[in-house]
Amino acid sequence: MILYTEGATKAQESEAEGIIGVLCDAYPGHPWAVRVYDGGFFIRHLEFPGNWGMNCKYKDFGHDAAVFKRTIILMAGEWLERAGLKRGRANEDETKWVEGIPTKYQPMAQKKVIELAMQAEADVAAEKQKIEMTH
């Protein structure tokens, strides 16, 4: 499982580690990333392609540690549900669609693009081989 934290200062790095700890306690086995910046933080689920996630501002709920922790758990749980994953421990389910994300950024669309690119490369290689054999 991959976990990633980032902050511009030691204090921000420490805050990111604390947020990862909350996420891992509530939703173990999921690959989370947390980047803390001045005034807030950004949480991503690393199985989802692209840079989609939850952008959180401290001013909205950073006034109380219990509210802060509860809000992180609720937001991450909502993300999992929108991705068709169950709340709790990761269970190897694959994200196929995330509610609220444009179609072109959906996991299945990204996989299709990769498959088409690989097929195009194979077609070009086969065509090159065919040309070489005729010369």
CA angle 64, 25, 12 (to 5 degrees): 55
* Domain, as residue range, for 112: 102-135
81: left (phi over 0), alpha (psi -120 to 50) or beta: alpha
Q: Are residues 78 and 23 in the same domain?
A: yes
Q: How many domains does the chain have?
A: 2
pTM (2 d.p.):
0.70
- Averages of pLDDT over runs of 10 residues in the chain (135 residues) are 85 94 95 94 85 84 84 91 86 74 66 60 77 75
Q: Are residues 34 and 79 in the same domain?
A: yes
Q: Are residues 69 and 8 in the same domain?
A: yes
Tokens of 92: 């190897």
Q: Are residues 60 and 82 in the same domain?
A: yes
Q: Are residues 107 and 74 in the same domain?
A: no
